[in-house]
Structure 1
Amino acid sequence: MATSTEVLSPPVARREEDRSVFAGVAPEGWDPKMPRQSNDSTETLLDPPVAVPDPYGWLRDDKRNNKEVLDHLKAENAYSQSMTKHLGQLQESLYSEFLSSIKETDFTTPRPKGEFWYYTRTFKGFSYKTYCRAPKASESFDIDWDGTKESPILPGEETYLDVNKLAEGKDYCSVGGVKVSPSKKLIAYAADFSGDEIYQLRVKNLETGEDVALKETGSDKLLEIDSVMWGKDDDELFFTTNDEQHRPCRMYQRKNWQSDEPTDRLLAEELDDLFWCSMYKSIDEKFVFFEASSKEVSEIFFLPLDDEHTASEMKLVAARRPKVLYEVDAGHGSWFLLTNVDKSPNMKLMTAPIQADSAAEWKLVEDADGNPIFDGSLAKALDSVTILKTHLVLQGREGGIPRVWTFCLTSKELKRIDFPEDAYDVGLLAHSEMDTETVAVSYDSMLTPPSSIEISLTDDSQRTVLKTKEVPGYNKELYESHRMEFPSRDGETMIPISVVARKETMEKARAGTHVPVHLYGYGSYGASIEADFDTTRLPLLDRGMIYVIAHVRGGGEMGRAWYEEPKGAKYLCKKNTFNDFVDVARILSKTWTKPEMLSCEGRSAGGLLIGAAINQDPALFRCAILGVPFVDVVPTMTDSTIPLTSGEWVEWGNPNEERFHNYMMEYSPINNVKIGRYPACWLTGGLHDPRVAYWEPAKFTAALRHANPDNDNPICMKLDLSAGHFSASDRYKYYRELAYDYSFLLDQLNLADC
């Protein structure tokens, strides 16, 4: 491995050996918000409280302005820069390779809504997207684009929001929830200029170009929101706001927002810290919904969008019940519901009349033979339903693969839309109109770049490719991909993995020659990591690496049972996530590769996975990348003053309760660092991250170094001082940051010169 001639010494964070956080009933002198159990918990709080060592707790600075802390973080960045200074040429090469495999001037597939086609564009040299639309002359479009910035995608194209202009003079700019008003003359959107996910509500007049940030009523303070949508006309806005813990919890209606005295009405508020709230509108635009949900319970209110609704109150679709989740949409005079009621392992599809308190009326949706089309069994998982004029379009999973089904409302026939590859990713594109004879999906795999495909609802063999993502220089024939299963240590569970590599690399591995392997994982919240296409993998594959995704328990790849207790990876079986990952790594290290050539990576809760894995078997990996890693599990989860903590208790458990505390202490990465030779580690963070605070990677970095002062593998942390959880908002800066990550990885695997 190449080394720099001018490497700084790693920063040494001072330790306060008598510093602790307390789990359980708060002792005198320790006064965070009093912890509490979840509503249906039968556990008692730890009393007396238990002290959890937190020697690096001084690195936590909620205001992000403590000079000692900032100086330490800058020293960490300087050290990481010195450790990678000799990799400047490699970083430039990686950055160039990233850019060479994308079409910098490009557009997304136009989607219809009303009298317009809507899409976004990107331009070479510009960091952010522009939002565009063009008049819809017919139900199909014919693109005649010469590939330049100046040429419109469709006749009559107009740009209605240029994020590049909005971002001028700012280090960070993230735009979300761009909504066009009923008259199509205005847009409302949310903008974050710091990365802390505190968004301001803005409205732009598309006729005059005026773009204003709205204020709180009766105040000069800017209105900070979580989400926004229009009501029945241009005078009405709905928005949600957060509490002090950054939890979306309130829904407001603002009437006459353009006047000097707009009126706000609080429609709904959720006071329980375990519940995260959102709002949405039915596809037929007849109802707005307010959903309050935890990981285990949900409750939804509705409000009709008619001439009388301004005087009415929101009503319940169905009251919350322990362990019952449901989602609802409206169409054809009925509620359509996804729910796990009656303890089904997956979500079932039900329907009911449109009325308040409808739980007693829920009935399974059946086919022509009277069989439930989704009964909530283990056979197939249901994730969403889209209601169209003649069909329901359903998304879910079967055999570990994402699927799309159509259900004809007249013939009662359910059909699955199939694709030729063994493993792939597929999902619906935006559908804003019910009256359609086709459905549009996005399809890709680890080998196949994304395509937008329009499929007939009555004959799915009739397919039209609307757009295929162009990947300059990519030759699919040079690569191969596989779906495989490896056994877990419990002897019962098979862990799916997705594999992609160049063909000559796989030939070497199959012939018994060890090759470098990069293993990626996540495994939390029931979220699935799909076998999708990613151009940023190509520089690794082209340097002779095999890229493997381990679909470990805790995700949703095999349905909700892959996530829930007793055999998934949540609460008191969470260690299944880490064990599955280590089991996959051990098999790989004895077949295609060896520990000296094996690397691993995970982000956020995936960073927790990596932290726990390298603690479990430090010698198994040569290099580990931990992106914005959740590694300070017990100290963080005991303190509900930290944003978003309380709601996470129904994911991990509440460590203020004895049983959960003892279990979490067994895997919390920062509390289980061993003495021994750890792999080279590259940790990243964002100073303004509200989801995984910057001090988590900072504390873990210090703990790894302290426990292993003689470890000759570097432990580096790179902290972005102007970003949050989702890294750089500037796409070019994002590729620059990724080039740093991968240059470190390749250097540690002795591939820097390849």
Structure 2
Amino acid sequence: MFKSAALVLLSRSSHSFLIHHTPRRSLPLCFTHKMSTQTEVTQNDVISPPVARRDEEKVCFAGVGPADWDVKMPRQSNDSSEKLLDPPVAIPDPYGWLRDDTRENKEILDYLRAENEYSQSMTTHLKGLQDSLYDEFLSSIQETDYTTPRSREGFWYYTRTFKGESYSAYCRAPKTSDTFSINWDGTKESPIMPGEEVYLNVNELAKDKSYCSVGRVKPSPSQTYIAYAVDFSGDEKYEMHVRNLETGEDVALTEVGSDHLLEIDGLLWGKDDDTLYYMTMDEFHRPYRLYQRKDWKSDAPTDTLLKEELDDLFWCSSYKSLDGKYIFFDTASKETSEVWYLSTEEESSVTEMKCVTKRRNKVLYEVEHGDDSWYVWTNVDGSPNMKLMSSPATADSAANWELVVDTNGTPLFDGSLAKSLDSVTVLNTHVVIEGREGGIPRVWIYSKDSKNMKMLSFDEAAYDVGMLAHFEADTKSIAVSYDSLVTPPSSIEISLDDDSQRTVLKTKAVPGYDKGSYGCDRMEVLSRDGEAKIPISVVYSNETMEKVKAGERVPVHLYGYGSYGACMEADFDTTRLPLIKRGMIYVIAHIRGGGEMGRQWYEEPNGAKYLCKKNTFNDFVDVAKFLVDTWTTPEMLSCEGRSAGGLLIGASINQAPELFKCAILGVPFVDVAVTMTDSTIPLTSGEWVEWGNPNEEKYHQYMMEYSPMNNVQKGKTYPACWLTGGLNDPRVAYWEPAKMTATLRHANPNNENPICMKLDLSAGHFSASDRYKYFRELAYDYSFLLDQLKLAN
């Protein structure tokens, strides 16, 4: 679960502006509006922030279950040996009444709408800026465009977008040679390639829908059908369909039995068109079962349960080997994993999966197949990073795992600190490995024949690179996507035998962008504990940097995440350009808790997990202090994070509210202690091996010391806060930003900076699915930020 949420407050900066009056609505008893006395306005009757009632008696108990606790709901993991708090400890939860699992409570919905109305009233004067930002976002993309075609069983597959249409269209064209040629005149009507057919137009699926997100789209082995999944609410519960590409007939797969068979985006084809595999979720939104469906075309298909995972800590997924020979069921916590397999050659007669190797505590491994062998990347024997190993493709194979070596017998990846390994693609003649070295994403090509391995090199010092989707094992080349902070993305075809043979297949068009007007740097900031050099990636306009060199202080926007071992790359993003063009320096802090410097950047004892989690927040604040010491001032420094990055921002502004003028908390995971005590909340149990379990003595007090909701300071001036959320979000529930917003206002009612929350009542964790609506929402967010930093003109 990638937690996330948002936060908001009251009042304005010192300059005058006009708030357009929104008619007062009939308000429920749970909250009130009061007249604002903190904002200079030209009307007497203006919307003030809703004041949520506080239920001072409401608490959430951490520790052994309360007397009425459902014994089916775990308070800790099955194999935990840690002591539960006994007697339980009460955690204050005065805004707990805002939680409604049904999302239908009128009192609460009215309150959320009132929050939206308040936020809208606080930004009415920014309508012109919002329109300008929206226009800038659109002008920096090519609205009618296509993705790089990828080869698959006789076709080139790609997607297209069309000016004025919100969603993509999935297309394909017959493959007549190993290389493709683009004969496109740039118009909506012209095909990208000869023989083009649109086999799934998401714009048609999205008609009359406020939200539409298509998940996996899987062509069948014969390329006659596609199986696809679509979510119409943002709650990440998917409908599954199969479409006949010859007839255009679209069939919704029916649910069979009592299990929620068709609620997750996890579907695969078997050896041929007759068999489908798909995942299902339990009642807490956790993928846990893999099914095989035979006779899917009939009214009475046969569903067979192949594998299930009943341990709440484990999150499951399924995939098919690139050579098509195996279906895999992967079950993993953040620390332990296990992989099961079924041969597609035997799927018609055998439905019992075998295990690659049984799980062992704190041993992670992943598997691919090739040459009748397993290719395994694993941290077995406690290595800091993942090793690359191989063995015969048999069950219980761990005893035969051996390090993959080069021609000199030197292991390619031995798990040491020098470089980290993230994924492996096994082709017929080569193995392509993706990982990191020196904090930068890397791609290595290993020849099975010569046993030589070479890392792909590029001209820029810092960049983002990774393989594009690859569907065929029999190939002489691969394609990678390459970009940097100042270089728009390109897809590059690279020969497997000679990586100097490179062909740029496509470069993303960025109308009006002049690379020469921008610059970027990679720097390091020493952490307060002296244990880490925190990398930061910096992008700016040359004009702004000239001001800095002349000794002038300039506005800076600081972005971070720092959880789950996830990496924030030094990549290209057109939505940063409006900030940079207005004189801001944009900084990405690669703080501990991420994986930028390998797994040791994430794991205990030197990373930021469990009882080291505060390193994430300390690193971010240390970077902010460095920026104030060098380029900016607190009045010109803003910060932003989403999901677990929202936790980062909440904890950081609690620690050092005086450092920031404005903070954006997107779908922020801010009610850490309360959420993590309650396994009835979707996805909670699996997170105990990320944050720790506050029901246990070992973790409780530590978590209480950083949980943003529980550490808002009184009597402090907080930065202007802009929190966002989605009503249907299953990852970070809408009530987290709502509760944080109310908490910030209550603690500092006279805060000189506004606290606002914007909640999307028709979306989930990932904001708007409509690309135009997404740009509108982002323009809304950034207008608030620019206004607070006095850059709105």
Normalising by structure 2, report the TM-score. Answer: 0.94
Counterpart of 1:61 in 2: which secondary structure?
Answer: coil
Contact 2:635 2:661 in 1 (8 A): yes
* Counterpart position of 2:490: 451
Of the candidates 594, 599, 611, which is equivalent to residue 650 of structure 2? 611
1:9 and 1:465 map into 2 onto residues whose CA distance is 55
- The aligned counterpart of 2:786 is 746
Structure 2 partner of 1:691: 731
Asked whether the 8 Å contact 2:294–2:303 carries over to 1, the reply is yes
Distance 1:83 1:187 in 2: 47
1:725 maps to which residue? 765
Matches within 5 A, 1:54-73: 54-73=93-112
In structure 2, the partner of 1:252 is 291
Cα distance in 1 for partners of 2:701, 2:529 equals 22
Aligned equivalent of 2:5 = none
Q: State the Cα distance separating 1:289 from its structure 2 match.
A: 0.2
Q: CA deviation at 1:222?
A: 8.1
Corresponding residue of 2:465:
426
Matching residue of 2:584? 545
Amino acid at match of 1:723: A
Partner of 1:709: 749
Instruction: State the Cα distance separating 1:219 from its structure 2 match.
Output: 8.5
**1:39 Cα deviation from its structure 2 partner:** 4.5
Q: AA paired with 1:206?
A: L
* Contact 1:517–1:546 (Cα < 8 Å) also in 2: yes
Distance in 1, matches of 2:181 and 2:73, equals 61
Matching residue within 159, 174, 180 for 2:213: 174
Bigger drift between 307-316 and 98-107 goes to 307-316
What amino acid sits opposite 1:162 in the alignment? N
What pairs up with 1:251-270 in 2 under 5 angstroms? 251-270=290-309
The offset of 1:518, in angstroms, is 0.1
Q: Which runs of 5+ in 2 are unaligned?
A: 1-14, 21-45
What letter matches 2:784 in structure 1? F
8 Å contact from structure 1 (residues 688, 724) kept in 2:
yes
Structure-2 separation of matches of 1:617 and 1:35: 36
**Equivalent in 21, 24, 34 of residue 63 of structure 2:** 24
Q: Distance in 2 between matches of 1:305 and 1:175?
A: 27
Which residue, 343, 347, 353 being the options, matches 2:392? Answer: 353
Task: Name the structure 2 match of 1:3.
Answer: 17
Query: Aligned letter for 1:731?
Result: R
Structure 2 letter corresponding to 1:3: F
Q: What is the aligned counterpart of 1:156 among 195, 203, 208? A: 195
Alpha carbons 1:32, 1:640 under 8 Å: kept: no
The residue matched to 2:361 in structure 1 has which SS?
A: coil
Provide the residue aligned with 1:50 in structure 2: 89
Letter in 1 for 2:712: V
**Conserved? CA contact 2:372–2:393, under 8 Å:** yes
**Corresponding residue to 2:319 among 255, 273, 280:** 280
Deviation at 1:36, TM superposition (A): 3.3
Deviation at 1:205, TM superposition (A): 1.1
- 1:620 partner amino acid: L
Aligned to 1:195: 234
Query: Structure 1's 165 and 518: CA in aligned 2 closer, same or farther, altered over 3 A?
Result: same
- Asked if the contact 2:260–2:281 (Cα under 8 Å) also holds between the matched residues in 1, the reply is no
Q: 1 CA distance for matches of 2:717 and 2:74? A: 37
The one-letter amino acid of 1:746's match is: L
TM-superposed deviation, 1:9: 0.6
Matched, 1:652 2:691: yes
- C-alpha distance 532-308 of structure 1, shift in aligned 2 (>3 A): closer
**2:609 is the alignment partner of 1:570:** yes
Read off the aligned partner of 2:724 and give its amino acid letter.
T
The answer to whether the aligner puts 1:560 opposite 2:599 as a matched pair is yes
SS in 1 for 2:51: coil
Give the Cα–Cα distance (whole angstroms) in 2 for the partners of residues 221 and 636 of structure 1: 25
**Aligned equivalents of 1:251, 1:471: Cα separation in 2:** 42
CA distance in 1: counterparts of 2:258 and 2:412, whole angstroms: 52
Of 114, 135, 152, which residue of structure 2 is paired with 1:75? 114
Distance 2:257 2:317 in 1: 25
Give, as a single letter, the amino acid of the residue that structure 2 aligns with 1:745. L
Q: How does 1:80-159 map to 2 (within 5 A)?
A: 80-159=119-198
CA distance in 2, matches of 1:279, 1:730: 28
User: May I ask how many residue pairs the two structures share in their alignment?
Assistant: 753
Alpha-carbon deviation of 1:564? Answer: 0.1
| CA spacing shift, 1:679–1:699, aligned 2, 3 Å | same
- Show CA shifts across 1:84-121 (max 9, x none): 00000000000000000000000000000110000000
Percentage identity across paired residues of the two chains: 73
Confirm or deny: 8 A CA contact 2:313 2:686 kept in the other structure.
Answer: yes
**CA distance in structure 1 between the aligned counterparts of 2:213 and 2:158, rounded to whole angstroms:** 18
CA RMSD of aligned residues (A): 1.2
CA displacement, residues 603-635 of structure 1 (integer Å, 9 cap, x when unaligned): 000000000000000110000000000000000
Measured after TM superposition, the shift of residue 185 of structure 1 is 1.1
Q: Deviations over 1:438-474 (max 9, x none)?
A: 1110000000000000011111111100000000000
Answer whether contact 1:105 1:123 (CA < 8 A) is retained: yes
Contact residue 200 and residue 222 of structure 1 kept, 8 A = no
Q: Name 2:522's counterpart in structure 1.
A: 483
Aligned counterparts of 2:462 and 2:430: Cα–Cα separation in 1? 26
Asked whether the 8 Å contact 1:35–1:638 carries over to 2, the reply is no
CA distance in 2, matches of 1:470, 1:669: 41
Question: How far apart, CA to CA, are the structure 1 residues paired with 2:524 and 2:191?
Answer: 47
Match of 1:590, SS state, is: helix
Asked whether the 8 Å contact 1:25–1:34 carries over to 2, the reply is no
Secondary structure, aligned partner of 1:90? helix
- 2:349 is paired with a residue whose SS is helix
Offset of 1:260 from its aligned partner? 1.9
Give the deviation of 1:41 after TM superposition: 3.1
Task: In structure 2, give the amino acid aligned to 1:507.
Answer: E
Separation in structure 1 between the aligned mates of residue 580 and residue 259 of structure 2, nearest angstrom: 53
Return the offset for 1:530. 0.1
CA apart distance, 1:34: 3.8
Q: Which runs of 5+ in 1 are unaligned?
A: none
**Contact (CA 8 Å) 2:173, 2:197: kept in 1 or not?**
yes
Matched, 1:371 2:410: yes
CA deviation string 1:302-349 (max 9, x = no partner): 000015653241000000001000000100110000000000000000
- For 1:591 and 1:222, locate their aligned partners in 2 and report how far apart those are by CA, in whole Å: 56
Distance in 1 between residues matched to 2:503 and 2:19, nearest whole Å: 57
Q: CA deviation at 1:30?
A: 4.7
Distance in 2 (CA, whole Å) between partners of 1:277 and 1:33 is: 20
Conserved in 2, the CA contact under 8 Å of 1:4 and 1:82? no
Please state whether the residue corresponding to 1:311 is helix, strand or coil. Answer: coil
What's the offset of the Cα at 1:13?
0.4
- Where 1:306 maps in the other structure, the secondary structure is helix
Aligned-pair distance for 1:4? 2.9
- Residue type of the alignment partner of 1:401: I
One-letter code aligned to 1:647: G
Q: Deviations over 1:535-568 (max 9, x none)?
A: 0000000000000000000000000000000010
State how 1:610-689 maps to structure 2 within 5 Å: 610-675=649-714, 676-689=716-729
1:335 aligns with 2:371: no
- 1:586 paired to 2:648: no
* Residues 1:536 and 2:547 aligned together: no
Q: Which has the higher contact order (CA 8 A, sep 6+)?
A: 2
| TM-superposed deviation, 1:2 | 4.9
Question: Is 1:14 aligned to 2:14, yes or no?
Answer: no
Q: Contact (CA 8 Å) 1:614, 1:678: kept in 2 or not?
A: yes
Question: What SS does the corresponding residue of 2:208 show, helix, strand or coil?
Answer: coil
Counterparts of 2:249 and 2:476, CA distance in 1: 38
- Taking a change above 3 Å as real, the CA distance of residues 85 and 695 of structure 1, as seen in their structure-2 partners, is same
